[in-house]
């Protein structure tokens, strides 16, 4: 028997569907999500030096999805969809920056004690929370791909060519 989705997952999927771009481009999805949240959301690439493949940094004025610069364009989209899912599920509202930022290597060269005093660590998500995010991310990815198959363009187009 399949897994029953929580109301939170169903709501996140409905919200994702309401902002799904006809183009199928993840950048267009972020633009729509930015309008809905009334704050900019940008993709940043960086040399992540830990097992982290992606990271969501929510600031007071904007959100940033950081993806490893070694990731393929397809993997980058999967990471972005996963981090967007966390936003839609409300997992990162009013949360301090996670210790993942410290572990990512993005703050190299700074005094580790200073960084820890500024960047409050967040406890790791429970397994169910990550599973919910991956469920929503998979739905988003499928919907984006379906739109591309109908003639849209993708984030990959510019990265591959």
- Per-residue pLDDT, averaged over 28-44, amounts to 94
For the whole prediction, is pTM greater than 0.95? Answer: no
How many angstroms separate the CA atoms of 69 and 126, rounded? 27
**Alpha-carbon distances, residue 156 vs 76, 99, 147 (angstroms):** 9, 30, 14
CATH number at residue 79: 1.10.10.2910
Tell me, yes or no, whether 157 lies in a domain.
no
**Alpha-carbon distances, residue 100 vs 44, 50, 155 (angstroms):** 15, 9, 26
- Per-residue pLDDT, averaged over 86-101, amounts to 64
Cβ-contact 27, 155 below 8 angstroms: yes
Tell me, yes or no, whether 33 lies in a domain.
yes
- Predicted confidence at residue 115, as pLDDT, reads 47
Summarised one tens digit per residue, pLDDT across range 69-90 is 888 888 999 999 999 999 999 8
At 48, the pLDDT band (50, 70, 90 cuts) reads: confident
Tell me, yes or no, whether 154 lies in a domain.
no
Tell me, yes or no, whether 119 lies in a domain.
yes
Cβ-contact 67, 47 below 8 angstroms: no
Domain with 75, as residue range(s), is: 7-147
């Amino acid at each position: 028997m399949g897994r029953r989705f929580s109301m939170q997952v169903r709501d996140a999927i409905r919200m994702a569907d309401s902002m799904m771009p006809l183009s199928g481009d993840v950048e267009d999805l972020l633009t729509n999500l930015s309008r809905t949240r009334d704050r900019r959301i940008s993709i940043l690439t960086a040399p992540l030096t830990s097992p982290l493949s992606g990271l969501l940094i929510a600031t007071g004025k904007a959100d940033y999805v950081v993806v490893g610069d070694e990731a393929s364009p397809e993997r980058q989209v999967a990471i972005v969809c996963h981090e967007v899912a966390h936003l839609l599920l409300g997992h990162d509202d009013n949360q301090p920056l996670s210790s993942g930022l410290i572990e990512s290597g993005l703050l190299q060269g700074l005094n580790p004690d200073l960084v820890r005093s500024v960047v409050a660590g967040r406890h790791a998500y429970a397994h169910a929370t990550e599973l919910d995010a991956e469920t929503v991310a998979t739905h988003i990815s499928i919907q984006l791909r379906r739109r591309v198959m109908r003639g849209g363009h993708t984030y990959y187009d510019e990265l591959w060519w």
